[in-house]
Structures are given as C-alpha cells and as structure tokens.
Amino acid sequence: MRKKIVAGNWKMNLDYNEGLGVFSEIINMVKDEATGTQEAVICSPFIHIHSLVQLAKGYKVAVGAQNAHQAESGAYTGETSAKMIKSVGAAYVIIGHSERRQYFGESNELLAKKTDTVLKNDLRPIFCIGETLQEREANAHFDVIKTQLVEGVFHLDAAQFAKLVLAYEPVWAIGTGVTATSAQAQEIHAFIRKEIAAKYNQEVADSTTILYGGSCNPKNAAELFGCADIDGGLIGGASLKSRDFVDIVKAFN
C-alpha cells in the first residue's frame, strides 16, 4: 500500500543555526513519540541540507530540497542541480510549488523537465498541483488539475511515476489560514487518483501517495488525513515550529 508521508516546506525561512535548532528538536520528538506516519521529511533551503542529513543519521526523518534546475549542469549562475542535491544526501525535491509557478513563472512544460532531471538523479519529486481561487470560482479546478497532471507528469512511464509523490495544494489555502474542507480535499484527491488510474492502471493509482497542503495544522490534520485518498500533508508555516510539525506527523495515530 502507499506510504503515508508528512513533509515540511520551510520556504525561505530560518537561518542556518535556527534551522539546525528546529530540526534537532524534530528528530528528537519523532524518536521519542509514536507516529503513524511512515516518512517525515523536511524540505529546507539548500544551505541547510548537508547538515540536516548528518543530523538525521539514525533517525526516521528524511531531508529534501525545494527546487532544482532542469539542466544536469552548466552556466546557470545561482542555480543548484539535482546531482548536487543528491550528493549531499537529500531524498526528495519539491517541484512545481505554486510560489515557483507564480513568482518564477514556472510552466508545466518546465516542471516536466525538472521532474525528469530529479528522477534521473534518483531523487523523489514531490510534485505540486492546485487551482487558484479564481479558477475554483470559475468551476475550472478539475480542468486545471488535469492539465497540470497531463503536462507535468503524465509523460512518465509507470515505473518512473511510482517514484513520484503528488501534493494537492489549492493556492487559495496556502499560507492564508483558510483550509480546504476535508470534503473539498477528498473530492480532488479522489479525482487525481481516478485520473492516474485512467492514464496508468488501478494498481499505480492505489500506490501513489497524494499529500494535501494548505494551512494544515495540528488541529485540522487528523480530519484531513482521515480521508480515504489523503495520504499525508505538505506543511508550510506549521513546519517552522517543531511541536506543531511533529503533532501533524502524529495525526495518523
């Protein structure tokens, strides 16, 4: 069956020492407290990754990046490659977060290339999809999500697709304090799984981890994670506080 994952996205928050402090608290809490989550992940800024991987040795917390360049290497000043991320021991890379789509103009076509490069370097993409408020109000959310899937990840073969984690993140719920209701989230997760089954097959669909993201917190996580097609969360703001993050990790209990 599919893996239950809770991944934190620190975004551009926490300096080096602050990050190490929060991460140390997280690994100690996760060690001491039973969780139903099979994989807890922290996706930090690049500067933290190497040190977090060292700290995480022997603990049940993985480390990821928040972005990677689509090229293997080359003259791309300021960029970081998937190979570099792999070389410091990260396991995951967030691809297609709505902030990257919105502020850095990342298209589905570009994100498809990034996904290929990340997979080629033996990292697991956490591929984000989700509609804006305007798109939901225009009743276009199913079409938007289907297009993001088709153009972003449905070019993968079934073996490559099996390494992917998907994250449904309605843009109107990210960092706003407005969470999708569990019924709204479940409806979209079931739709995503149905589309995966139509493209690949039911077995692939049933084994794909689909996370929910958008103002998830210790109070609402258990209800969201209790839905049949929600396999965990991608957590922004609440992942910056160790207690809140670990309480979300424990929401499967």
Name the residues that contact ligand PEP, by CB under 6 A.
Answer: 9, 169, 174-175, 213-216, 234-238
Minimum distance of ligand PEP from residue 202's CB (angstroms): 28
Give whichever of 36 and 175 is closer to ligand PEP, judged by the CB atom: 175
Instruction: Quote the CA–CA distance of 176 and 6 in Å, as a whole number.
Output: 20
* Cross-strand pairs, 7: 41, 234
CB distance 56 to 63 below 8 Å: yes
169 belongs to the catalytic site: yes
Give whichever of 168 and 200 is closer to ligand PEP, judged by the CB atom: 168
Give whichever of 129 and 205 is closer to ligand PEP, judged by the CB atom: 129
Q: Which residue has the closest beta carbon to ligand PEP?
A: 236
Burial code (b: 16+ CB inside 10 Å, e: under 16) for 154-165 equals bebeeeebeebb
Q: Which position among 39, 99, 135, 169 bears the catalytic label?
A: 169
155 belongs to the catalytic site: no
DSSP letter string, 37-103: -SEEEEE--HHHHHHHHHHHTTSSEEEEES---SSSSSS-TT---HHHHHHTT--EEEES-HHHHHH
Q: Which position among 69, 97, 141, 189 bears the catalytic label?
A: 97
Instruction: Quote the CA–CA distance of 178 and 65 in Å, as a whole number.
Output: 26
Give whichever of 13 and 207 is closer to ligand PEP, judged by the CB atom: 13
User: For residue 78, how far is the Cα from the chain centroid?
Assistant: 23
Instruction: Quote the CA–CA distance of 238 and 217 in Å, as a whole number.
Output: 6
Give whichever of 112 and 237 is closer to ligand PEP, judged by the CB atom: 237
Q: Both ends of the chain: CA-CA distance in Å? A: 17
CB distance 175 to 135 below 8 Å: no
Active site residues: 97, 169
